[in-house]
Amino acid sequence: MKRRFCLPGLSLALTIIAGSLYPTPARSAEPQQVKIPLGGGHELPGTFFLPSASTPAAAVLVLHTRGGIRQADVNYAAALAEVGFVSLAVDYYPNPRYDADNLHHPGYVEDLLKAVGWLQSRPEVNGQPVGVVGFSLGSKAVTLSARHPAIKAVVSYYGVYNLRILPRAMGRK
């Protein structure tokens, strides 16, 4: 009977010791509210995070679901900064040309690429790779833009997996 109680205690102790061997990620700087110019007087608002390190870092653009940006998207971007990435969570919906009912708007990809360009222009990125993470509707934009040379990595969470709809989504028949 003593052995059963000993194993969980030993497991807990080893976990604590092993965890203490790894450095805790540094906290990122406070988020900054930014607006990326899109042309035509439109802007793409976003929450921008910098890692604590002062050297240039790879960047990740975070794209929201059809339901719009949520705190979870901002938290995801913050977590990326905590582990060393420059990150930006953008919100498509303040722009009047978007709404949740217009899922095939070609501007999604255009604006994603402008946000990627904005990240690339930042001194905190300075030539480092830029990746894009999309959730649901955001993953559709990620899938449509995945082959663009400015984008070095993509992650699509619960997104578009029927590739036959992509030509229609890109305005082709």
Residue 164 DSSP class: G
DSSP state of 98: -
pTM to 2 decimal places? 0.74
In this prediction, the residues of the chain whose per-residue pLDDT falls under 50 are 1, 3-25
pLDDT tens digits, 14-60? 344 444 333 344 555 689 999 999 888 889 899 999 998 888 999 99
In sequence order, what DSSP letters do the residues of 13-44 get, joined into one string? HHHHHHHHTSPPPPPPPPPEEEEEEEETTEEE
pLDDT confidence of residue 6: 46
Q: Which domains does the chain have, with CATH numbers?
A: 25-169 (3.40.50.1820)
> What is the rounded distance in angstroms from the CA atom of residue 28 to the CA atom of residue 84?
8
DSSP single-letter state for residue 158? S
Q: Which residues contact 4 (CB under 8 A, 6 or more apart)?
A: none
Which of 48, 148, 71 lies closest to 108, judged by CA? 148
Distance separating alpha carbons of residues 28 and 7, to the nearest angstrom: 37
Distance CA 89, CA 128 (A): 18
